[in-house]
Chain A
Amino acid sequence: MTKLPTWADVVLVPLISLALAAIISAFVLLGIGQSPTEAFWVMVDGALGSAYGWGYTLYYATSFIFTGLAVTVAFHGSLFNIGGEGQAQLGGLGVALVCLALPWPHWTMALPAAMVGAALFGAAWAAIPALLQAKRGSHIVITTIMFNYIASALLIYLLVNVLRPAGQMDPATANFPPGTHLPTLNEIPILNLIFTKKVPANISLFVALICCWLVWLLMWRTRLGYEIRAFGKSEKAATYAGISSFKIIMIAMLISGALSGLMAINNVMGESGRLVQNASEGAGFIGIAVALMGRNHPLGVLLAAILFGFLYQGGAELGLWTTIPIELRTVVQGLVILFTGALDQMVRMMLGVFFRPRPQARAA
């Protein structure tokens, strides 16, 4: 197979994959008697056409950045952390416990504490599968999936039986004190000139961006990142270099779990202001697709997270303004994941034809 130039590999392949996903989606829409162009413009207009739409797109993107980075860090250590969903739910529990513990005077104090809570709980939830992998070789994919179910059941139990205030009907915690309210983009000076209406995207977006930078720094500038990547590429060679597999599995998974958990400052603390059942809404799983499409690089994760934010918000708009069923959003997402994640090798092969060096003229 012809090797593509870097720019084609990084820019062209994802774009073509997206285009293919869009074309197939269009056929699906035609098949159910809807107009693809109309659907496309509803999505674009609703998600990207206004500051208000961007406020939602970026809100979803913030969550996906956290979970995408979580998958990325683990993946560099060749650990496939499918447990982002459960870790994000536990992160929500950590955030809720911190926020409800004190009558926080101001968000600047509440946010760091909530971040610690979210990261600790997320990391703790990843620690058990990590330990099972490192000590007993239980496959991390299996155990993290199982821990998603346990997390979900645990949260339902806690919300129904422990955290629900007396007299409240729905399984959720009490509302967090006002001092924990994170400023949304329309409440931040200067940005409020752009975002004039209330939007859910909040200051967590900037935490997420800082995390992108920190993950990049960790993976490519520190000894720990070097060891994680070395271990991920070749476990045998890592032993030769004296890199402890136990240490790497544990640390990579703890960081991964912490990043997933951190997502909760966006949805639980920033948006709903209380912990509800299934707060993470599948963002943990979307993180896998985001990391896959973003080639396990923080910058790629950022871009892929915005794309999936667009799909989420645009999909919601479809439900609002058209008769296209909301399930179609899942179909479109599925196609995007299929083409960008699973089939990008196919796109690369097709592109290879164009980048093949031209045959030399026949020597006489």
Chain B
Amino acid sequence: MGGGRPTSAAPSSRPFAIELKGISKSFGPVQANKDINIAVPKGTIHGIIGENGAGKSTLMSILYGFYKADAGEIFVNGNLTAIPDSQSAIRAGIGMVFQHFKLVQNFTVLENVVLGAEDGALLRPSLAKARKSLQDLAQEYELDVDPDALVEDLSVGHQQRVEILKALYRQAEILILDEPTGVLTPAEADHLFRILKGLRDQGKTVILITHKLREIMEATDNVSVMRRGTMVGTVKTAQTSPEELAELMVGRKVLLEVEKKPAHPGKVVLSVQDLRVKDEIGVERLKGVSFEIRAGEILGIAGVAGNGQSELLAALGGIQRAAGTVTMNGAVLPLVGADANGRARREAGIGHVPEDRQTLGLIMDFTAWENVAFGYHNEPKYQKNSLLMDNDAIRADTEKKMATFDVRPPIPTLAAKNFSGGNQQKIVVAREIESDPDLLLIGQPTRGVDIGAIEFIHKQIVALRDAGKAILLVSVELDEIMSLSDRIAVMFDGRIMGFRDPETTNERELGLLMAGVSGDAA
């Protein structure tokens, strides 16, 4: 299909729910949206896909009245509509569910739904009315939430439902969801898609913004692809493939499968015996975990988030106190006391790409070069003399790493927060891999990372394995675990439920282990 062709994928007998014509928006020198045209037919689920920074969120912010477009027109149900603020968007029947929920944590569901849409000075009539309509909505769309529960007590998936209910309560006919599954478990995501399909079948229009191909294929009717601020094209989902979409998004062919040769495991690098971790309030999160990793091997830890994987990484990375025996290259590592810290672990040859790069792996206000030295700032190569650091050497090293790992933009003096998620992750991965560790701990290597960067990071992990290093990979993305690992351990409730060979196992078997249904009681 040709790039930039105008969008009309569905028969347009009905008026479009949303039609954007010639939308442009720039922030200083950066043109976030360039002459965007898009038409969303009524009663469909319309996906908008693109890499981080492609301009999806900007476009939706314009539609929701957060930004004013520099040029262009918005039509809602065929009528030219000005949307100067979100109030106007709501009046036009547009509702938005943000990636980060905007809920009052210590209010009940009912209070959150009513908030800002109260009928009069007295609360009681509004609440009663809302309770009635919540019941109706719950029946209609599988949107069950206890109206009297406090939001802070709800799971993330339920909080998201509250956001959807808020929009529906405000009579939204068009619902925009921005990266809705980023925080959901696979089961919660499935449920969300069922809800969205229910909404569509009732005649509502849903716009789904995501960078995950699988969700587009699973949930949408049409999909529009954005790349670097432009609309590359709109297609019917049924007539496209993940490969084609990926190519449209990135602008070149992308390998969705990881290419790797068989592993040649060597000697045991890391041996973990009966590792236990308690959290601050004394609850045991890691309940006796034992495994070994050999040189030239990737051990993948599968599991639903919150089953002890984070604690495992934190204990091995020296961030959290633990009990048990951990041997690295034959030497026992201290698990408590002053010697159990991140610096000592690095000196023992352990690199660590933490799960949460924005709060652990990087200091967002620091420049890229300051972050490249982070954790390695005591290394002799970064010192000018016994007193002063050699900032020039660090900057030069940063330029080199940025070139090797294709960090964009390659500006060492740019603050970490100004890089996209994928490039932030590349900075962390570059720092940890180039420190030449014997063991690399790597958590959620591609969370919030766009496709092009995922491919690159996966290649780097495999290359490190082929160089004879041991790798502990923790990920909640089952695909990632299946395609990268040489061995898979499944964690549930702080224990390893069993080890599997990725060649012989399947998602169903792993899924059962992840749910704690069956296991080898390891």
Contacts and interface: CB of A to CB of B under 8 A. Distances in A.
A223 B352 CA distance: 21
Contact of A226 (B22, B29, B389): B389
Given A242-B344, A357-B27, A357-B28, A230 B71 contact: no
A241 B431 CA distance: 12
B375 A241 contact: yes
B239 interface: no
A323 to B, nearest CB: 49
B362 to A, nearest CB: 7
Interface in A220-261: 220-223, 226-227, 229-230, 233-234, 236-237, 239-244
A234 B370 contact: no
B444 to A, nearest CB: 15
B388 A237 contact: no
Given A221-B388, A237-B374, A363 B22 contact: yes
Given A234-B363, A357-B27, A360-B70, A241 B387 contact: no
Nearest to B29: A357
Contacts of B342: 239-243
Contact of B360 (A236, A244, A359): A236
Interface string B4-30: 000000000000000000101011110
Interface string A97-123: 000000000000000000000000000
Contact of A363 (B71, B338, B343, B345): B71
A362 interface: yes
B162 to A, nearest CB: 29
B359 interface: yes
B360 A222 contact: no
Given A223-B378, A234-B359, A360-B26, A239 B389 contact: no
A237 B361 contact: yes
A241 B354 CA distance: 11
B391 interface: yes
Interface in B24-42: 24, 26-29, 35
A240 B319 contact: yes
Given A226-B373, A226-B377, A233-B363, A240 B352 contact: yes
Contact of A223 (B341, B362, B363, B389): B389
B346 interface: yes
Contacts of A234: 359, 363-364
A240 B389 contact: no
B445 interface: no
Given A221-B389, A239-B319, A230 B70 contact: no
Nearest to B22: A363
B28 A240 contact: no
Contacts, number: 82
A223 B360 CA distance: 19
Contact of B374 (A217, A230, A357): A230
A217 B384 CA distance: 13
A240 B71 contact: no
Contacts of B343: 241-243
Contacts of B360: 236-237, 240
A362 B73 CA distance: 11
Interface in B229-264: none
Nearest to B72: A363
A233 B366 CA distance: 8
Given A226-B373, A363-B71, A242 B346 contact: yes
Which of B35, B343, B345, B377 counts the most A-chain CB atoms under 10 A from its CB?
B377
Nearest to A362: B71
A109 B373 CA distance: 42
A242 B387 contact: no
Interface in A184-218: 217
A77 to B, nearest CB: 13
B201 interface: no
B71 A242 contact: no
B317 interface: yes
B43 interface: no
A5 to B, nearest CB: 10
A236 B359 CA distance: 7
B362 A237 contact: yes
A244 B338 contact: yes
B388 A222 contact: yes
Contacts of A237: 359-363, 374
B365 interface: yes
Contacts of A357: 26-29
A352 to B, nearest CB: 12
Nearest to B362: A237
A237 B357 CA distance: 9
Nearest to B375: A241
B318 interface: yes
Interface in A340-363: 357, 359-363
A80 to B, nearest CB: 18
Contacts of B354: 240
Contacts of B28: 357
Given A221-B389, A237-B360, A363-B71, A242 B27 contact: no
B374 A241 contact: yes
Nearest to A239: B319
A72 B352 CA distance: 32
A242 B375 contact: yes
Contacts of B344: 242
B391 A242 contact: no
Contacts of B352: 240
B55 to A, nearest CB: 15
Contacts of A222: 387-389
A222 B359 CA distance: 23
A236 B389 CA distance: 23
A240 B495 CA distance: 24
A221 B391 contact: yes
Contacts of B388: 217, 221-222
B365 A233 contact: yes
Contacts of B378: 223
Interface string B349-393: 000101000011111111000100111011000010001110100
Contacts of B361: 237, 240
A237 B71 CA distance: 42
A250 to B, nearest CB: 14
Contact of B317 (A236, A240, A359, A361): A240
Given A221-B389, A240-B360, A360 B377 contact: no
A134 to B, nearest CB: 13
Lowest 5 CB-CB distances: which A-B pairs, in order? Answer: A242-B343, A242-B342, A241-B375, A242-B341, A240-B360
6 contacts: A230-B366, A230-B374, A234-B359, A239-B342, A244-B341, A359-B71
Interface of B: 22, 24, 26-29, 35, 70-72, 317-319, 338, 341-346, 352, 354, 359-366, 370, 373-375, 377-378, 383, 387-389, 391
Given A241-B343, A360-B26, 14 more contacts: A221-B389, A237-B361, A237-B362, A239-B342, A240-B319, A240-B342, A240-B352, A240-B354, A240-B361, A240-B375, A241-B342, A241-B374, A357-B27, A359-B71
